[in-house]
Amino acid sequence: MKNRHGTLLLGILLFLGVFCILAILSGGIMRLFGFTYDHVGSIILLMLGGAILSYPCEILTQVICKLLVKSKSLPINGVLILYVILDTLGTMIGLGIVDLMMDSVKTNQLSLLVIGLVFALLGYKDMRQQLTM
Give residue 53's pLDDT.
96
β-partners of residue 106 are: 36
Angle between helices 76-101 and 109-132 (to 10 degrees): 140
On average, the pLDDT of the chain sits at 93
Nearest to 30 by CA among 98, 123, 95: 95
For residue 124, the enclosing domain spans 2-132
Give residue 1's pLDDT.
58
Q: Rounded CA gap, 22 and 110, in Å? A: 19
Band of residue 103 on the pLDDT scale cut at 50, 70, 90: very high
Give residue 131's pLDDT.
87
Q: What is the mean pLDDT of residues 22-43?
A: 93
Instruction: Report yes or no: 117 and 29 within 8 Å, Cβ to Cβ.
Output: no
Going from the C-alpha of 109 to that of each of 35, 48, 85, the distances in angstroms are 10, 19, 15
How many distinct structural domains can be found in the chain?
1
- pLDDT one-digit tens code per residue, 56-86: 999 999 999 999 999 999 999 999 999 999 9
